[in-house]
Structure 1
Amino acid sequence: MVGSVWAALGLSLTCTWALSLISPAWFQIPTFSFGVFTYCSWPQGDSWNQSCRTFRSLDDIPDIAWKVSAVMLLGGWILLAFNSILLLSWALFPKWLSSRKGSGPAPGVQVAAAIATVVGLLVFPISLASPFAKEACGASSTYRSGHCQLGWGYVTAILNAVLASLLSIIGWPHTTKVQGRTILISSDTERILFMPE
């Protein structure tokens, strides 16, 4: 039961993270918005008539900090997707994976995904000093968005990073030492394992 809940949480987190990654609404003004991999423009007062473009390669991304952030954020998403697949297989096939300890097959993968995501989110605002962002946002600089406002894509990415961090902390296996024996408390398999010294 707990494995199914972890798998559902992992899959929903992966999907919302993918949505925020492809979103062009990280920073926006009334006629333009941009995200990590996409940007859109539209005529004043006609936001339904958008023209969007995608950065197809790292060479198309306008700034080195932006490139580093894109690699870290995409890497974090790939790790999160890999962890979700592991959680799903762990939830569907508990018989052959029941010998694993803790709350999932690889809690370290989720920790690595959370760390990569947080680093990518911290590096991305450095790219506000790029010529691309200055042209879009006016007087923008590192960690200062100028005329641009924070969009829902960046906020969603921050919330995903917080949730991924919390899930990795909650999901880490808990151990206790009692009279020279290690006791692994696993709520997923609903049993207590005694580990010899």
Structure 2
Amino acid sequence: MVGSVWAALGLSLTCISALSLISPAWFQTTTFSFGVLTYCSWPQGNSWNQSCGTFRSLDDIPDFAWKVSAVTLLGGWLLLAFNAILFLSWALAPKGLCPRRGSGPMPGLQATAAIATIVGLLVFPISLASPFAKEACLASSVYHSGQCRLGWGYVTAIFHAVLASLLPTFRWLHVTEVQRRTILFSSDTDSIILVPEMSK
């Protein structure tokens, strides 16, 4: 049961991370918005009529810091997705196959994914000094968005990073020691002998 809850949380975080990565609303003005991988523009006062584009490769991304941020954010998402799939398969595995069911197969993997995401989030605002961002945001600079305002995509990515960094901590605190016993069956006396398991 606990493993299924952690697996569901891991899958939810992976979906939130994917949503924030494909969102074009990291920084936006009244007629333009851009994110790590996508950007959109629309006529003044008609935001429903959007025209969007995608940075299809690293060569298309306009700034080196932007490229570093995209690579670390995608790397963090891939680690998070791998961890969620691994956790789901581990939670659904038979109990005898995976005896330690409380803490997860690799809590360090989710911590690494969270660190990669945080690094990507800290590096991305450096790209506000790029010509692309300066044209979109008018007088933007490093960690200063100019005429752009913070969009929901960046806020969602921050929310995801906070949750992804807290979950491994909660999981490590949840681990408790349980005394195990080995049960030996004796066919001669038809009785059960309980033997405490020796620590290795």
The separation in 1 between residues aligned to 2:12 and 2:67, in whole angstroms, is: 26
Q: How does 1:62-81 map to 2 (within 5 A)?
A: 62-81=62-81
**Identity in percent:** 77
Corresponding residue for 2:129? 129
**Aligned pair 1:196/2:190, yes or no?**
no
Structure 2 contact 91–101 (Cα < 8 Å) conserved: no
Residues 1:185 and 1:56: Cα distance change in structure 2 (over 3 Å): same
The separation in 2 between residues aligned to 1:114 and 1:97, in whole angstroms, is: 28
Deviations 1:115-134 (A, max 9, x none): 00000000000000000000
The separation in 1 between residues aligned to 2:55 and 2:198, in whole angstroms, is: 51
Residues 1:125 and 1:2: Cα distance change in structure 2 (over 3 Å): same
Corresponding residue for 1:21? 21
Q: Partner amino acid for 1:31?
A: T
The separation in 2 between residues aligned to 1:94 and 1:195, in whole angstroms, is: 24
Gaps of 5+ in 1: 175-183
Structure 1 contact 26–150 (Cα < 8 Å) conserved: yes
State the 1:173 CA deviation.
Answer: 6.1
Residues 1:106 and 1:29: Cα distance change in structure 2 (over 3 Å): same
Structure 2 contact 2–102 (Cα < 8 Å) conserved: no
SS at match of 1:33: strand
The separation in 1 between residues aligned to 2:18 and 2:50, in whole angstroms, is: 21
The separation in 1 between residues aligned to 2:5 and 2:179, in whole angstroms, is: 20
Q: Partner amino acid for 1:90?
A: W
The separation in 1 between residues aligned to 2:47 and 2:198, in whole angstroms, is: 61
Q: Partner amino acid for 1:196?
A: S
TM-score by length of 1: 0.88
Corresponding residue for 1:178? none
Corresponding residue for 2:38? 38
The separation in 2 between residues aligned to 1:140 and 1:11, in whole angstroms, is: 36
The separation in 2 between residues aligned to 1:58 and 1:100, in whole angstroms, is: 41
Q: Partner amino acid for 2:199?
A: P
The separation in 1 between residues aligned to 2:5 and 2:40, in whole angstroms, is: 37
Corresponding residue for 1:146? 146
Q: Partner amino acid for 1:28?
A: Q
Structure 1 contact 69–121 (Cα < 8 Å) conserved: yes
The separation in 2 between residues aligned to 1:77 and 1:132, in whole angstroms, is: 25
Q: Partner amino acid for 1:42?
A: W
State the 1:96 CA deviation.
Answer: 4.7
Gaps of 5+ in 2: 181-196
State the 1:102 CA deviation.
Answer: 5.2
- RMSD after superposition: 1.7
Q: Partner amino acid for 2:54?
A: T
Deviations 1:48-92 (A, max 9, x none): 110000000000000000000000000000000000001101111
Corresponding residue for 1:60? 60
Corresponding residue for 1:4? 4
Give the aligned length: 184
Q: Partner amino acid for 2:24?
A: P
TM-score by length of 2: 0.87
